[in-house]
Amino acid sequence: MPMPMSMLKTKAKAMLAMAAILCGCGQQRGGGDSYFPLTVGSSWTYAVSSEIDGRSQRDMHVISVISEHMEGGKPVAIRRSETAGNIGVEYALRSAPGAIERIAQRSDLEEQATPDEPPRTVLPLPLKAGASWRSSTTAYFILRKSEYPRELKYSQKVLMTYTVEAVEETVTVPAGTFAHCARIAGLAHLTLYTDPVAGFRKVPLVTSEWYCRGIGLVKLERTEDVSTAFFSGGSMRMELSEYTLR
């Protein structure tokens, strides 16, 4: 029995919050020079278009900084990621020497947060062209055609290499045109037995993210391109439509 699209949508929105992370109709009160603002009360709304298993869908996704507390003498911000009608996810983030890190995550179905061990790098600091790091990822849109569970995200993880390819780009999205934006490219390869003819194949997982100084994440694209007898792929685009910075 095929997985309902409502379940696919829930999984896709969870990926939006994780993979990438997050952050005109908006009101800008402050954001300084940070590419990743963590001020409580700030929020970002994104228009999301995706294609999964050959079917298209559109949604709105909201990221907000809901609280801050001290942990080990350092401030930790809690960011909430949610789409109407779906399970929300909260992420604990901190500014550590050399990087903004994600240190834990918790969905609405969990009572306690699950620590990231080791902490996951979101952005290196300072953000410079040529900087590179690695974080784990999985296939969020690739589905098995005849096996269950159809999703791969629970069984296969790979390391994605992220590289800052530019730091002074200008990006136009529904929320407006933003200068001083960093473009970050991510690339990983997932080895799959795609079909009896092609055998094993390395499938590219490709991510592009644009973070703008004083605003945060304004655009994200993800492509998982595969179409074989055993698997179907998908893609997603996420663009900032409005925001409020405190």
Match 């001083």 to its residue by tokens. 180
User: For 97-175, where are the E strands, in sequence order?
Assistant: 99-107, 114-124, 132-137, 143-144, 158-173
Structure confidence at residue 187 (pLDDT):
98
Q: How far is CA 41 from the centre of its chain?
A: 20
The tally of domains found in the chain comes to 1
Q: Please state, in angstroms and rounded to a whole number, the distance separating the CA atoms of residues 163 and 205.
A: 14
Contact 241, 174 (CB under 8 A): yes
Question: By residue range, what is the domain housing residue 32?
Answer: 5-243
Q: Please state, in angstroms and rounded to a whole number, the distance separating the CA atoms of residues 229 and 197.
A: 10
Q: Please state, in angstroms and rounded to a whole number, the distance separating the CA atoms of residues 78 and 92.
A: 5
- Residue 246: count of CB within 10 angstroms of its CB: 14
Give the pLDDT of the chain (246 residues) as one tens digit per residue: 444 444 444 444 444 444 433 333 334 444 578 999 999 999 999 999 999 888 899 999 999 999 999 998 999 999 999 987 788 999 999 998 899 999 999 999 999 999 999 999 999 999 999 999 999 999 989 998 887 788 887 678 899 999 999 999 999 999 999 999 999 999 999 999 887 888 898 999 999 999 999 999 999 999 999 988 899 999 999 999 999 999
Structure confidence at residue 6 (pLDDT):
43
CATH code of the domain containing 106:
2.40.360
Structure confidence at residue 98 (pLDDT):
93
26: which residues sit within 8 A by CB, 6+ positions away? Answer: 175, 176, 242, 243, 244, 245
Structure confidence at residue 10 (pLDDT):
42
